[in-house]
Structure 1
Amino acid sequence: MINPLQKQILAILFAGGDAVEISRVAQAVETEPEMVVKWVPKLREALQESGMPFELLELDGKLQLCTAPEYAPVIQKALELRRNQPLSQAALEVLAIVAYNQPVTRSFVEQIRGVDSSGVVTSLEEKGLVEEAGRLELPGRPIAYKTTANFLRCFGLENIGQLPKLPPAKNTAEETSLETTDLEEPT
């Protein structure tokens, strides 16, 4: 059984719709954020035991009440939601670059990919997977991008630290020979 404060937390998350900062939830129910975090497993268990079609997600310092995945088909049918198109290879590449190196600029993404990526970044912004993280203190004050809570939710992550570790980079034969060869200065 959950206590009245825990019920208030669920009510806030239900009414909020989107992910809500744990600190804001704690402030609203007049408790410490650590206590809210401590209650998350109990709230998840209570939702599961109740048979209600909801689950509680913890996303990088935020909480969100969502419908359980098995109800997606009936919700889409009832609300006539169109199924999102899968991400293109280019979009997945850009997402990986942003996720592993954030915050990053478009020019950083383009330098790694070797092609113009402005349209892909804009598309990912529109889908709510990346967002502006501010502007860098460089000439032109370029916009830096980072992943969103929606990115974490879509990829089943609680925080960015749960991304799989990248394998060590392998040098190509050409790169290795350039690194080990002393270059002479032109005369």
Structure 2
Amino acid sequence: MENLEMKEIESAIEGILFAAGEPVREDRIAAALELDRPTVQQMLQKLMDYYAYERRGIRLLHMEDTWQLCSAPDYADAIRRAFEIRKPAKLSQPALEVLTIIAYYQPTTRAYVDQIRGVDSSYTVGLLLERKLIEECGRLQVPGRPHLYRTTKNFLRAFHLTSLDELPEMPDLAGEGQMRLGDDGAIIDPESEERVIVDADRPETAEDIRPED
């Protein structure tokens, strides 16, 4: 009887995830099934392992405190052909640079990204917003109130990460010598501890960040 109940619960979880079509929070699933969260987490993990082990056409993704059903990457080409979906363009090197900076120093401003790269990144930030890899998450409470940016769940999905904690260390940008934002929103140069005025004199253009073939 207990096994039957467990199978019914698994089926209910599958139904919820399928109907949602987007990431669903663990606590929402637990509330809907009137179960405690650890039990729901255990069953979600069991389903995820099952889909992967049996090499099914669907996979269960875990992203922070949410879960989502999606198609298996092994069959991406067949799915694209069935629906005549164009393969998304690869991110260019400049786009990857901007995405990396935001991922490691989020929430952060575009001015901070510009200072690290030494070039105006407004076009690239716009591109990443369109691809839904980053999103606005408020404004810095300083004069001008610049937008703050952070990565999205689409970012986690694209790079096969469960959470940001799985990001590898980045020695080139990490450590005591890194630039940082001061309390007033100014960028502080670690070499001189002076505030830096961002004035990128070489704006980035569409030609600079064209997609790779």
* CA shift for structure 1 position 85: 0.6
| Cα distance in structure 2, aligned partners of 1:48 and 1:4 | 20
Alignment identity in percent? 44
State how 1:8-87 maps to structure 2 within 5 Å.
Answer: 8-48=12-52, 52-87=56-91
Q: SS of the residue aligned with 1:104? A: coil
Change (3 A) 1:73 1:128: same
TM-score normalised by L of structure 2: 0.75
| Alignment RMSD (CA, Å) | 2.3
Render the CA deviation track for 1:36-77: whole Å, top value 9, x for unaligned.
Answer: 212122112333466631111100111011111111111000
What SS does structure 1 have at the residue aligned with 2:38? helix
Tell me the SS of whatever aligns to 1:3: helix
Tell me the residue number matched to 2:101: 97
- 1:125 paired residue number: 129
Which residue matches 1:110?
114
Q: Which runs of 4+ in 1 moved over 6 A?
A: none
Question: Secondary structure at the residue paired with 2:39?
Answer: helix
Counterpart in 2 of 1:139? Answer: 143
SS at match of 1:157: coil
- Count of residue pairs brought into register by the alignment: 175
Q: How much does 1:34 deviate?
A: 2.4
**What 5-or-longer segments of structure 1 have no aligned partner?**
180-187
1:7 aligns with 2:11: yes
Relative CO higher for 1 or 2, CA cutoff 8 Å, sep ≥ 6? 2
Q: Which has the higher mean CA deviation after the structures are superposed, 66-75 or 45-54?
A: 45-54
Looking at structure 2, the residues matched to 33 and 170 of structure 1 have their Cα atoms a distance apart, in angstroms, of: 39
Tell me, in whole angstroms, the C-alpha distance in 2 between the residues paired with 1:96 and 1:50.
Answer: 34
Aligned letter for 1:117? Answer: S
Could you list the runs of 5+ residues in structure 2 that have no partner in the other structure? 178-188, 193-213
Partner Cα distance (1:141, 1:22) in 2: 34
Distance 1:146 1:96 in 2: 11
